[in-house]
Every structure is written in structure tokens, then in C-alpha cells.
Structure 1
Amino acid sequence: MSDISGPSIEVRLNGDPIRCPEGFSLLQLLEWRGYKPQLVVVEFNGEILPRARWADLPVREADGVEVVTIVGGGS
């Protein structure tokens, strides 16, 4: 995760308030926080979103993002 050098906004990520650079897309936010997009499912403001929308969806002040990491395994 990088320092923020410029305008920032506050969003809720997994229930916790965080600051991120203004103008990020959902995909940029996830990558900035260290998530591997192919290994997560995202709920954005109460809606589960397909990956195809992440790059074009702007993150705005007070948005809520819940990230669930997919874990492989089983028998």
C-alpha cells in the first residue's frame, strides 16, 4: 500500500474506514490494498459486482466495499 500524495477520500473497506486517492476505480483500490482481483469477490455498496465492471467503476466518498478472499482446497 502506498502513501497518498494528493486529494483523498474516505471509504469503508470490510467495515473499516480508510483513506484512498481520489479518482480510483474499484479495481485500482483493490490492487492498491494488495488484493489479487482474480482471487476475490467484491460487494460494492451492497451489490455483488462482476469483475468486468471493476475497472470502470469509480470509488467515491463514503462508498462501502466488502472483499471476500477465495480460498482453494477441499478433499
Structure 2
Amino acid sequence: MEVQINGTTERLPEGISLAQLLVHLDLHARRLAIEHNLDVVPRSQYGAVRLQQGDRLEIVHAIGGG
């Protein structure tokens, strides 16, 4: 299946979860925010959200500051 990640089309296995996607992209150990089809997904839901053909994701790195 194909999904858009930060504006780039990526080919992924059917039914992959957001948690599995982060492992696939080697981003699982980072502090991130993920928007899935215009909705921000809480980290606690990454394993429950399954991607589908045509989904759009924005993945950004959280940066601390003061």
C-alpha cells in the first residue's frame, strides 16, 4: 500500500501500525509527534492505529526549549 509521509509517497506493508512504522523507519526511540489524516495521535495510541492506502502522515521531532 502507499501512504504519504511528510509529503513523500512511501510503500508499506498492508495494515502496518504507527508503532510498527516507527520501527520500520528507525524512529521508535525518538520523541515525535504524529499527525494522521489531520489528527494528532497520542503516543499511547500508536499501536492501535493501523494505516490504510492513501493515508497522510506528518511526523515531526519534538524539540525541548526554555
- Normalised by the length of structure 1, the TM-score is 0.78
Unaligned runs of 5+ in 1: 1-8
Which structure carries more relative contact order (alpha carbon 8 Å, separation 6+)? 2
The 5-angstrom pairing of residues 1-75 of structure 1 reads: 9-36=1-28, 38-72=30-64
Aligned Cα root-mean-square deviation (Å): 1.5
- Normalised by the length of structure 2, the TM-score is 0.87
Quote how far apart the aligned CAs of 1:71 are: 2.7
Aligned residues: 66
Report the residue type matching 1:61 in the other structure: Q
Which has more radius of gyration? 1
Please list every run of at least 4 consecutive aligned residues from structure 1 whose deviation after the TM superposition is greater than 2 angstroms: 71-74
**Counterpart contact for 1:24–1:58, Cα < 8 Å:** yes
| Percentage identity across paired residues of the two chains | 35
